[in-house]
Chains A and B, each alone.
Chain A
């Protein structure tokens, strides 16, 4: 197992370098705004723009820029023209000149809080709904929950977020019961921050809970038809034990895989719409700003962080698999 983990981690480093290369290529191949012109202002002359280009390191060839970047992130070598050195030096934002790593670190708590809360809610909803729908398959309850979940899956997060705000936010809502837009930044206590997250948690959890519920239902229906479930019932085991110990354990394994990926993707900034709608100062909101301003170092840094989370959580999921499913062994 140890050898397997070490091998996976080495592959992860290679994967992260590849991800960096892809982002660089995307930034330069597809049309994007010129960061130097954006920074220079509308009346800056050619010399001023060139000076900014040089200060941002954009005067180097793409390959050189990429090499400097990789050096900063993965090696302890000094970087030319700066006092900075790696590892974990992701460069400075074109827009604010802030250290990208510092910005992401500052953004992470809000995103982690958003994701953890949402995960708890969507699992708390999805697992019981999925199980009950599977057990009561084709019943009125099953049909009602499945139609409801379909509605939530179909609703885009930004739309759901705005609807939730206009219905329930204390500042702009018709039934003002939850703290509204921008309340996370306004809150100065942990309890206040938790309160400010209630609405975003439900919004972010809604669509995912619906997907998980449907997925779990279908897995459970398949598993409940398996021979070993029939055997368990024939042995006279109580139905509750059959469902919770035998069926659910088997049906939930793919859900764990899905969960690992979803959490990683959300931590990587994919809560962009929820964070933007509710103005939560997290990685997603940072991603939105970076894309808007063609801030390559920030985009690059967030993408790498995302890739890191995905790779790491995949590894965690694979290890968890071995414990959940005794048939799985890694060499």
Chain B
């Protein structure tokens, strides 16, 4: 009874604090959209190390799976960034509390942008040394300081087919000469990185990037990611001559730690980089001596319990499941559980190109009739995050401009529990006098996950659709098959994809809305615009917003784009995910709000 009471109190505190904090904003964050929906109280993410943080100690990161790539040029996943943020020095990177703007790291300051908005200039530190070669690397390597030419090389090699980077060609599309370089790389995959004429290194500490348009903020945003970590050509070219490149397995480090051992699916062992020095230019204190990623914990419940009961452990690539959250909230010590907005959303995509969802009134009717609270319950309820009312997530530029937690005030999204009357009105507007779906078009297809919690969400939505008059042919497949064979292949796309969502690439609206709702980005395979929304006004608004290089104006523009998209009802937004992180009682953990996970360069042991 007592335990249950504690649990209920804890739950209530989280919800209340989440709402309060999001309504009040967070003074520590600057900028126009600084409000936060972070869960507060005992579970607010700590973003500073304690003043008496202990130096030394070994930490184990418990993970279910492996990184997507160990090569910083190809990494494109939060968990992978946990590794690279400790081992590499990007031009700029996100310090734990950063939400709006990154902090210079390899660069001495934020980059300057020319008056015409078409030239970005970074000035680099001259004291960032490379690590020695790892045990199985080329031992003839003599460590030296990183230079601007190394950053140029790092970006150029990301175009090689052997370094399958998933974002550079999207966000750096405005860089002069990139199209030609892409073609060269594809024509000669093992011939070394192609030259991108728009990127130059006039001297060791100056990097200039020339653009064909004013997409500088998108480029600067993308260069906060690990692709901008320097790589010396003389060391890496032997590995980049292979396809796929094996540089990742032999990589050098410019961060506080270096990779001593990487065994895929099993272990990543980090040790101190002997050539790294804490200094004015590097904001990372790096308290720990050794960090070991232990992978393969497929059952995240027992993995979570192990972390809570163990010593010097934190979770890695998984959010704590509900039973572990409950245990941490009721019987854990302070700081063992933190809840952080992940910077992502989940929604149900409605195929806007095929009947019946090519009719906006039917889409609105479905959204109005959907009980999004019930959908959220399939993933664990309130702790999972707020019920979404639009697409930009909390703690994200443009979120407030798009209406914050309350949303845009659209009638079909106003009631998170669903509104049958509003739904019926829209069905009637679509010519269905019964207030429910009528006719042969109401026999629809849906392809979703075959295992919980995704399959539960899909089943609940299926029931809700059937209550609205639809007949649903639901095919269950694995999550990967759902994307690569159905939802991301427009030719095979079903009417409904119930298990899709998007996580930011960096803190800019472009990384959330351009790939997912720009009609020009609908492609035959690997398509991320799952509703296949193609509204010329929205496409133009997205293109225009990407060219704005004033931060406040840009955030407003992305907020407006979000509103326009939401008005088109292409999908049912139902949750903005939180990431629940857990740590052993003897860990003084620090959360990086950008990555919504432990910042290993700030975390220490008590």
Query: Measured between alpha carbons, how far is A176 from B302 in the docked complex, in Å?
Result: 14
B161 and A43 form a contact (CB under 8 A): no
Which residues of chain A in 25-81 are interfacial with respect to chain B, using CB atoms and an 8 Å cutoff? 31-34, 37-49, 51-52, 54-55
Among A46, A172, A293, point to the contact of B525 (Cβ < 8 A): A46
B484 and A285 form a contact (CB under 8 A): no
B189 and A55 form a contact (CB under 8 A): yes
Q: Residue of A at shortest CB range from B183?
A: A47
Query: Measured between alpha carbons, how far is A49 from B161 in the docked complex, in Å?
Result: 9
Which residues of chain B in 269-309 are interfacial with respect to chain A, using CB atoms and an 8 Å cutoff? 294, 296-299, 302-303, 305-306, 309
- The answer to whether A186 has its CB under 8 Å from any CB of chain B is yes
Known: A49-B525, A276-B299, A279-B298. A38 touches B310 (CB 8 A): no
Which residues of chain B in 464-513 are interfacial with respect to chain A, using CB atoms and an 8 Å cutoff? 477-478, 480-481, 483-485, 488, 505
Query: Measured between alpha carbons, how far is A185 from B477 in the docked complex, in Å?
Result: 33
B contact residues around A47 at 8 Å (CB) = 182, 186
- The answer to whether A289 has its CB under 8 Å from any CB of chain B is yes
Known: A40-B526, A47-B186, A181-B303. A33 touches B481 (CB 8 A): yes
- The answer to whether B7 has its CB under 8 Å from any CB of chain A is no
B contact residues around A182 at 8 Å (CB) = 62, 294, 296-297, 303, 306
- Total interface residues on B, CB under 8 Å, equals 51
A96 and B528 form a contact (CB under 8 A): no
A279 and B264 form a contact (CB under 8 A): no
A43 and B484 form a contact (CB under 8 A): no
Query: Measured between alpha carbons, how far is A111 from B363 in the docked complex, in Å?
Result: 53
B contact residues around A198 at 8 Å (CB) = none
- The answer to whether B165 has its CB under 8 Å from any CB of chain A is yes
B contact residues around A130 at 8 Å (CB) = none
A31 and B477 form a contact (CB under 8 A): yes
- The answer to whether A12 has its CB under 8 Å from any CB of chain B is no
Known: A31-B485, A171-B309, A286-B265. A39 touches B524 (CB 8 A): no
Among B66, B246, B264, B485, point to the contact of A34 (Cβ < 8 A): B485
Among A42, A52, A54, A276, point to the contact of B528 (Cβ < 8 A): A42
Known: A98-B264, A182-B294. A37 touches B306 (CB 8 A): no
Among A37, A44, A51, A289, point to the contact of B186 (Cβ < 8 A): A51
Among B263, B299, B303, B488, residue most surrounded by chain A Cβ atoms (within 10 Å): B299
Query: Measured between alpha carbons, how far is A52 from B309 in the docked complex, in Å?
Result: 43
Q: How far is the CB of A176 from chain B (nearest CB, A)?
A: 9
B contact residues around A48 at 8 Å (CB) = 161, 164, 166, 169
B161 and A55 form a contact (CB under 8 A): yes
Q: Residue of B at shortest CB range from A98?
A: B264
Among B298, B305, B480, point to the contact of A171 (Cβ < 8 A): B305
B contact residues around A37 at 8 Å (CB) = 483-484, 488, 525-526
Q: Residue of A at shortest CB range from B485?
A: A31
Q: How far is the CB of B531 from chain A (nearest CB, A)?
A: 16
Query: Measured between alpha carbons, how far is A286 from B295 in the docked complex, in Å?
Result: 12
A contact residues around B170 at 8 Å (CB) = 43
Q: How far is the CB of B522 from chain A (nearest CB, A)?
A: 12
Query: Measured between alpha carbons, how far is A118 from B447 in the docked complex, in Å?
Result: 41
Among B302, B305, B310, B505, residue most surrounded by chain A Cβ atoms (within 10 Å): B302
- The answer to whether B266 has its CB under 8 Å from any CB of chain A is yes
B contact residues around A54 at 8 Å (CB) = 161
Query: Measured between alpha carbons, how far is A277 from B303 in the docked complex, in Å?
Result: 10
A281 and B296 form a contact (CB under 8 A): yes
Which residues of chain B in 45-81 are interfacial with respect to chain A, using CB atoms and an 8 Å cutoff? 62, 65-66, 68, 74, 76
A49 and B526 form a contact (CB under 8 A): yes
A181 and B306 form a contact (CB under 8 A): yes
- Interface of B: prevailing SS: loop
B299 and A162 form a contact (CB under 8 A): yes
- The answer to whether B244 has its CB under 8 Å from any CB of chain A is yes
Query: Measured between alpha carbons, how far is A45 from B171 in the docked complex, in Å?
Result: 12
Among B167, B266, B294, residue most surrounded by chain A Cβ atoms (within 10 Å): B266
Q: Residue of B at shortest CB range from A92?
A: B244
- The answer to whether B381 has its CB under 8 Å from any CB of chain A is no
Query: Measured between alpha carbons, how far is A304 from B515 in the docked complex, in Å?
Result: 41
Query: Measured between alpha carbons, how far is A170 from B481 in the docked complex, in Å?
Result: 38
Which residues of chain A in 175-203 are interfacial with respect to chain B, using CB atoms and an 8 Å cutoff? 180-182, 185-186
- The answer to whether A93 has its CB under 8 Å from any CB of chain B is yes
A41 and B298 form a contact (CB under 8 A): no
Q: How far is the CB of A28 from chain B (nearest CB, A)?
A: 13
B310 and A171 form a contact (CB under 8 A): yes
- The answer to whether B417 has its CB under 8 Å from any CB of chain A is no
B303 and A40 form a contact (CB under 8 A): no
A contact residues around B310 at 8 Å (CB) = 171
- Total interface residues on A, CB under 8 Å, equals 49
- The answer to whether B343 has its CB under 8 Å from any CB of chain A is no
Known: A47-B186, A186-B294. A41 touches B302 (CB 8 A): no
- The answer to whether A294 has its CB under 8 Å from any CB of chain B is yes
- The answer to whether A123 has its CB under 8 Å from any CB of chain B is no
Q: How far is the CB of B290 from chain A (nearest CB, A)?
A: 13
A180 and B306 form a contact (CB under 8 A): yes
Query: Measured between alpha carbons, how far is A294 from B246 in the docked complex, in Å?
Result: 21
A46 and B524 form a contact (CB under 8 A): yes
Query: Measured between alpha carbons, how far is A46 from B527 in the docked complex, in Å?
Result: 10
Among B294, B299, B478, B515, point to the contact of A43 (Cβ < 8 A): B515
B contact residues around A44 at 8 Å (CB) = 164, 166, 169, 526
A contact residues around B302 at 8 Å (CB) = 162, 165-166, 172, 181, 277
B contact residues around A186 at 8 Å (CB) = 294
A contact residues around B488 at 8 Å (CB) = 37
Q: How far is the CB of A222 from chain B (nearest CB, A)?
A: 42
B305 and A172 form a contact (CB under 8 A): yes
A41 and B244 form a contact (CB under 8 A): no
Q: How far is the CB of B96 from chain A (nearest CB, A)?
A: 26
Q: How far is the CB of A189 from chain B (nearest CB, A)?
A: 17
Q: How far is the CB of B317 from chain A (nearest CB, A)?
A: 13
A contact residues around B294 at 8 Å (CB) = 182, 185-186, 279
A contact residues around B549 at 8 Å (CB) = none
Query: Measured between alpha carbons, how far is A166 from B306 in the docked complex, in Å?
Result: 10
Q: How far is the CB of B261 from chain A (nearest CB, A)?
A: 12
- The answer to whether B523 has its CB under 8 Å from any CB of chain A is yes
Among A34, A162, A165, A172, point to the contact of B484 (Cβ < 8 A): A34
Q: Residue of A at shortest CB range from B264?
A: A96
A93 and B264 form a contact (CB under 8 A): yes
A185 and B266 form a contact (CB under 8 A): yes
- The answer to whether B243 has its CB under 8 Å from any CB of chain A is yes
Q: How far is the CB of A329 from chain B (nearest CB, A)?
A: 47
Query: Measured between alpha carbons, how far is A103 from B526 in the docked complex, in Å?
Result: 30
A contact residues around B515 at 8 Å (CB) = 42-43
B297 and A32 form a contact (CB under 8 A): no
B484 and A96 form a contact (CB under 8 A): no
A contact residues around B182 at 8 Å (CB) = 47
Query: Measured between alpha carbons, how far is A165 from B296 in the docked complex, in Å?
Result: 16
Which residues of chain A in 77-99 are interfacial with respect to chain B, using CB atoms and an 8 Å cutoff? 93, 95-98
Known: A49-B526, A55-B244, A181-B306. A43 touches B166 (CB 8 A): yes
- The answer to whether A288 has its CB under 8 Å from any CB of chain B is yes
Pairs A–B under 8 Å by Cβ, sample size 10: A33-B485, A37-B484, A37-B526, A40-B164, A45-B523, A55-B162, A97-B246, A181-B306, A281-B266, A285-B298
Please list the residues of chain B having a beta carbon within 8 angstroms of any beta carbon in chain A. Answer: 62, 65-66, 68, 74, 76, 161-162, 164-167, 169-170, 182, 186, 189, 243-244, 246, 263-267, 294, 296-299, 302-303, 305-306, 309-310, 477-478, 480-481, 483-485, 488, 505, 515, 523-526, 528
For the complex with contacts A96-B265, A289-B66, 16 further pairs of A-B residues with Cβ separation under 8 Å are: A33-B478, A33-B483, A38-B480, A40-B164, A43-B76, A43-B505, A45-B523, A54-B161, A55-B189, A172-B305, A172-B306, A181-B297, A281-B266, A285-B296, A285-B298, A293-B480
Please list the residues of chain A having a beta carbon within 8 angstroms of any beta carbon in chain B. Answer: 31-34, 37-49, 51-52, 54-55, 93, 95-98, 103, 106, 162, 165-166, 171-172, 180-182, 185-186, 276-277, 279, 281, 285-286, 288-289, 292-294
Q: Which 6 A-B pairs have the closest CB atoms?
A: A41-B166, A33-B480, A51-B161, A96-B264, A34-B484, A172-B305
